[in-house]
Amino acid sequence: MTWRIRPFEATDRDAVVRLWQRCGLTRPWNDPGRDIDRKLTVQRELFVVGEVDGVVVASVMAGFDGHRGWLNYLAVDPDHRGRGHGRALVEHVERALEALGCPKVNLQVRTGNAEALAFYAALGYGTDDVVSLGKGLAAD
């Protein structure tokens, strides 16, 4: 089994969308294709995939706004979990964010996702005493 992390390529699009769907990350109000298109216009080098023997089995989008780094769409195919792929992706983008001068990384996890919360806790992430707010600016 050959595992590697590499930048997202346009030919990965369908595989990544299927991965996100398989992992339960998509929602009717978020078009994953549009999210990919938007990411490719900003810091595309922080959108990476993990592959095993040439097949995409993991992904993560990261970004840095000059104040905080963000992780989005971390996904590992359920058949490939428990092998360190998620940890490797997070550590990869954390190093890239550090290289950009990023002092802290934030992410959001849906409240009912105990598995993800436990995963991030094992990587040293903790709950911040904040309320996540949002406001749509695009009519998606």
pLDDT value of residue 139:
78
Residue 83 in any domain: the answer is yes
Residue 85 in any domain: the answer is yes
**Is 20 within 8 Å of 26 (Cβ atoms)?**
yes
Residue 134 in any domain: the answer is no
The yes-or-no verdict on residue 136 having pLDDT over 90 is no
Residue 138 in any domain: the answer is no
pLDDT value of residue 53:
96
Range of the domain at 41: 3-122
Residue 137 in any domain: the answer is no
pLDDT digits (tens, 9 = 90+) for 76-121: 999 999 999 999 999 999 999 999 999 999 999 998 999 999 999 9
Distances 33 to 11, 36, 37, 139 between C-alpha atoms, Å: 13, 5, 6, 15
pLDDT digits (tens, 9 = 90+) for 20-56: 999 999 998 889 999 999 999 999 999 999 999 999 9
pLDDT value of residue 12:
98
Residue 25 in any domain: the answer is yes
Predicted TM-score (pTM) above 0.75: yes
Residue 135 in any domain: the answer is no
Residue 27 in any domain: the answer is yes
Query: What is the number of domains present in the chain?
Result: 1
| CATH number of the domain residue 40 falls in | 3.40.630.30
Torsion angle, alpha carbons of 24, 95, 9, 31, to 10: 30
